[in-house]
Chains A and B, each alone.
Chain A
């Protein structure tokens, strides 16, 4: 085997990264690989993604929650910190929790891991379909619901949340479904 650290451009990973995650070199994160902890992480990620999407409706939400002055600053700070933590830190922890299987190239996985990876993409594809339907319903009927009627909404946070969901879903599916990783 070549000693050179091969780069897998399509998957966006290197051979060293994948092997490090697949082996127990990161044993300090073994607690994260317990199914219950993985599921908690998935729930935090989902809340972070939904929170990011709701950023597009901030003005409407602010009025609905009657936030003003210092209450708004506190609420906004807590919300932004939570979303940043859930989305950015959560994503890194999620990859460690599932040993990066969702992003690993076939040649570095064994046959069961390949099946786990491929099954996760099938579920992620189906869930993505439901997400698209939700976005379509929001687009069609959102303006008739008070908190979704923000005229200043340009949909940018919705787009960021959707892209992030697409990137995270296979790992989230693995983290939720698999008993042992």
Chain B
């Protein structure tokens, strides 16, 4: 299997974050990253490390597998 660093990691961060009433800045402060990084993650332009993915999942009270996927999430999930 070849390594593909550009392979996107799909996520539901924006959906869950807005449902919890958190701003990007608030989520960024809770997980210890810059708010622009949350923007990059939500636009799926940056794939997080496992540590960051787990930190975000914990902050948003979600299982990592419910929040992140290598295949696109269907709308309304």
Contacts and interface: CB of A to CB of B under 8 A. Distances in A.
A5 B40 CA distance: 30
Contacts of A22: 34
Interface residues of B, number: 12
A144 interface: no
Interface residues of A, number: 8
A20 to B, nearest CB: 14
Contacts of B36: 112, 180-181
Given A180-B39, A180-B40, A111 B48 contact: yes
Contacts of B33: 110-112
A153 interface: no
B2 interface: no
Contacts of B40: 112, 180
A111 B34 contact: no
A122 to B, nearest CB: 13
A14 interface: no
Q: Which one of B32, B37, B48 has the highest number of Cβ atoms from chain A below 10 Å of its Cβ? A: B37
B22 interface: no
Nearest to A22: B34
A111 B39 contact: no
A170 B46 CA distance: 20
The 9 A-B pairs with the shortest beta carbon distances in the complex, nearest first, are A110-B33, A112-B37, A180-B36, A112-B46, A110-B34, A110-B37, A111-B49, A112-B40, A111-B52
